[in-house]
Structure 1
């Protein structure tokens, strides 16, 4: 990874897509928003135009047993659109098992009221940040380079 730049993390859902990004040193992931499926590419375009985006990491929906889940087809279709729209940006996939549960648990620990936790936009962007943070930690811990395989 280059010294200064950002990585975008994406949690793909059927209606909503959560986005997160790293700081310029790629050490911390922060949520940046949740977007309706039809609007997410405008938000991504803005990030790519205004930030030094080096890579995009997409959550890969595996079952608890580690098999590819029902949502794989939806994510594959999203990935095809993403790669066509941003052909010069590397895209990686990472196991997203339990990220939604982790996002809800983190909001509980942070004291977010129950009604606010039920808002899917908060959960999606928090899940995107967790997906991205896991990626950062795995790359740093293992010094791995991920291309088209998921972790």
Structure 2
């Protein structure tokens, strides 16, 4: 079964998944929040997902950031729609900066490096890799 991670934003949600053996995290897609539930329903028809990991936005002092209320709404929607899939929150501080740095170092062209969708997807991959490295 796969693990799926989300980097939630009000304009885009970056999505990453593990392989079925849960060894490698890869970017899956970037979806508008309005379409996420339909997207997940379709995905879960063909793939088994053991757990959702959702990035938890925090300030430097460890308090919730302004976007935390939107993330909580997203988590509640996931719980209501997919009650059989456990959800874990994981601190997402610095994932976007790390994603931007990784993209910059990848040798991609300027246009690709400026893609906000790519940053969101890579952020979800970094979030998932972070969760995996903790040995859950």
TM bracket, shorter-chain basis = over 0.9
Q: Which runs of 5+ in 1 are unaligned?
A: 145-151
Aligned counterpart, 1:147? none
Aligned counterpart, 1:68? 64
Aligned counterparts of 2:39 and 2:125: Cα–Cα separation in 1: 16
1:14 aligns with 2:6: no
- Which of structure 1's runs of 4+ aligned residues deviate more than 3 A? none
Aligned counterparts of 2:19 and 2:77: Cα–Cα separation in 1: 25
Q: Which runs of 5+ in 2 are unaligned?
A: none
Aligned counterparts of 1:129 and 1:76: Cα–Cα separation in 2: 20
Aligned counterparts of 1:41 and 1:122: Cα–Cα separation in 2: 20
User: Aligned to 2:61, what secondary structure does the other structure show?
Assistant: coil
1:33 aligns with 2:25: no
Aligned pairs for 1:54-133 (under 5 A) are 54-133=50-129
Calculate the aligned-residue CA RMSD, in Å.
Answer: 1.0
CA drift at 1:109: 1.3
Could you tell me whether the CA contact under 8 Å between 1:19 and 1:128 is conserved in 2?
yes
TM-score normalized with structure 2 length: 0.95
16-25 or 43-52, larger mean C-alpha shift: 43-52
Aligned counterparts of 1:67 and 1:28: Cα–Cα separation in 2: 31
TM-score normalized with structure 1 length: 0.86
Aligned counterparts of 2:121 and 2:42: Cα–Cα separation in 1: 17
